[in-house]
Amino acid sequence: PMFDTMAFSPPQQHRTLLQALAEPPQTQPELIIEAINECKILLTNPSWCELMGYAPNDVLGRSVSILNGPYTCRETLAALRLAMGAGQNLHVILVCYKKDREPFLMTINSSPLLDGEGKPTFCKWEMFPRPVQHDATPSNISEQQMQQQCAP
C-alpha cells in the first residue's frame, strides 16, 4: 500500500475518508494526523518513512511531537495546532528531526480534511525537506539560519 495505516476502528465516515486517502500513489513525503487532541500520526507513506528514518510501526499512533527537538519553534507548532483545529490551511517552515535526531528544515503544507459535517477531523501534512548545510554559502541553508528559525 502507498500509505501505512495503524490498526484502529474509526467511525464509518472517518474510515471512508482514510480509505480514500490511501488509494492514490503518493511520492511526496506525507503524514495524515488527527486535527484535534494529541495530533497522533494515523497514516504515513513510504517516502516519508524513508526520508525520516522511521518504520511505520515506529510512528503510527504516536504524537507528531516525536519530530520535535531543541530548535523546533514552539510558536510555529502553536500556529499549526490552531490552524488544524480551525480547519484552515497553513504553510510553515519548521525545524524537524529525523529518527537519528538529525535536524531538517521542513516546509510543511498543512491542509484540513473535513468530515461529513464539515468539521476538521484530520489534517494532511505535505512535507518538503530542506536539508541543513554545514556551510554558509548564499545558496545553502546554514546551521546559523536553522538556529535563527526559532531559538530553543
CA–CA separation, 57 and 79 (whole Å): 28
Phi, psi of 32, rounded to the nearest 5 degrees: -115, 125
pLDDT at residue 122, rounded to an integer: 86
For residue 5, what pLDDT band results from cuts at 50, 70 and 90?
A: very low
pLDDT at 126 over 80: yes
CA–CA separation, 48 and 46 (whole Å): 5
Per-residue pLDDT tens for 9-68? 444 545 555 555 555 445 678 888 887 767 888 888 888 889 899 998 899 889 999 999
Whether this prediction's pTM lies above 0.75 is answered by: no
For residue 78, what pLDDT band results from cuts at 50, 70 and 90?
A: very high
**How many residues are recorded in the chain?**
152
